């Protein structure tokens, strides 16, 4: 299965910067041996999708509402993301689970709504540092997978230890392998045999320097990249490291 290298631009990028980044990626993205996805802010998603049209680079949203439309001021439906050119959407990022108290059930509803609208969801899971120190990482993450993944799931999972996001700290190789195995086991427990085919990405301070070591670890189906996805050369170097 091809690895997926996904960039989460978060709340970064005015129109000129976003389009410059998309153009730089477009120029060098041909012939990569992996799938490559960018998730820009919603305000520039349509313009980025237009810039990348006809290229190998996929476009996604960073979140969506679970309803197709209605009285939800400030929210964006999966249909709207698709209409703007997205084919993927991140749901349940830890920044949203924490800042907006998004529960597993809410994340599952968003993922289900995304699939209904023809989008592929990336469901994020991951433990806090306290949970890891307490020896609860596997239990916490397995419960997140079980509670957040809808029946008939067609997307991917991103394992992102919260303490590794934006901190420059990357999980130990052994821990990454253990957590990916735990997630695979839970996917099979939740979805049955189809859980074997779900890609599981690693995310948390992935940089060009460590990417080639990370991406050959057993069970790692790609990477979700935050900070380093804002620099075209860094992001492409990570993509070129894909196994």
The residues assigned a catalytic role are 93, 160
- Closest residue to ligand PEP: CB criterion: 226
The span of 19-27, 81-89, 134-142, 197-205 binding ligand PEP (CB under 6 A) equals 197-205
Window 51 to 80, contacts with ligand PEP (CB under 6 A): none
Q: Which of residues 165-194 bind ligand PEP (CB under 6 A)?
A: 165-166
Q: How far apart are CA 237 and CA 81, in angstroms?
A: 28
CB neighbours of 54 closer than 8 A, spacing ≥ 6? none
Q: Which of 194/212 has CB closer to ligand PEP?
A: 212
Rounded to 10°, the helix 42-52/15-28 angle is 30
C-beta of 191 vs 214, nearer to ligand PEP: 214
- The reply to whether 40 sits near ligand PEP by the rule CB under 6 A is no
Residue bearing tokens 């067609």: 154
d(CA 40, CA 124): 17
204 binds ligand PEP (CB under 6 A): yes
Tell me the closest approach of the beta carbon of residue 71 to ligand PEP, in angstroms: 30
Stretch that binds ligand PEP, among 53-61, 77-85, 127-135, 224-232 (CB under 6 A): 224-232
**Shortest distance, CB of residue 56 to ligand PEP, whole angstroms?**
22
Q: Is 150 helix (H, G, I), strand (E, B) or coil?
A: coil
> In this structure, what DSSP letter does residue 206 have?
-
- Using alpha carbons, select from 39, 29, 103, 11 the residue that is nearest to residue 66: 103
Task: Retrieve residue 131's tokens.
Answer: 């949970």
If the CB atoms of residues 77 and 205 are measured against ligand PEP, the closer one turns out to be 205
């Amino acid at each position: 299965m091809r690895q997926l290298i996904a960039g989460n631009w978060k709340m970064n990028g005015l129109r000129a910067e976003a389009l410059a980044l998309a153009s730089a990626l477009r120029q060098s993205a041909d012939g990569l041996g992996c799938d490559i996805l960018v998730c820009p802010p919603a305000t520039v998603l349509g313009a980025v999708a237009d810039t990348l049209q006809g290229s190998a680079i996929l476009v996604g949203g960073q979140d969506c509402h679970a309803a197709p439309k209605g009285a939800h001021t400030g929210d964006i439906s999966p249909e709207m993301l698709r209409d703007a050119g997205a084919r993927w959407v991140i749901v349940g990022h830890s920044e949203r689970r924490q800042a907006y108290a998004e529960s597993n059930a809410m994340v599952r509803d968003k993922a289900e709504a995304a699939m209904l609208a023809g989008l592929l969801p990336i469901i994020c899971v991951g433990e806090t540092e306290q949970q890891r120190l307490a020896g609860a990482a596997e239990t916490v993450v397995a419960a997140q997978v079980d509670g957040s993944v809808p029946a008939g799931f067609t997307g991917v999972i991103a394992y992102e230890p919260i303490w590794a996001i934006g901190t420059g700290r990357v999980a130990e190789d052994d821990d990454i392998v253990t957590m990916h195995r735990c997630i695979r086991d839970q996917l099979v427990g939740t979805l049955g045999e189809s859980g074997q085919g779900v890609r599981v990405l690693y995310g948390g301070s992935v940089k060009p320097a460590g990417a080639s070591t990370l991406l050959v670890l057993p069970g790692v189906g790609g990477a979700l990249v935050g900070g380093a996805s804002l620099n075209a050369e860094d992001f492409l170097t990570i993509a070129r490291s894909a196994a």
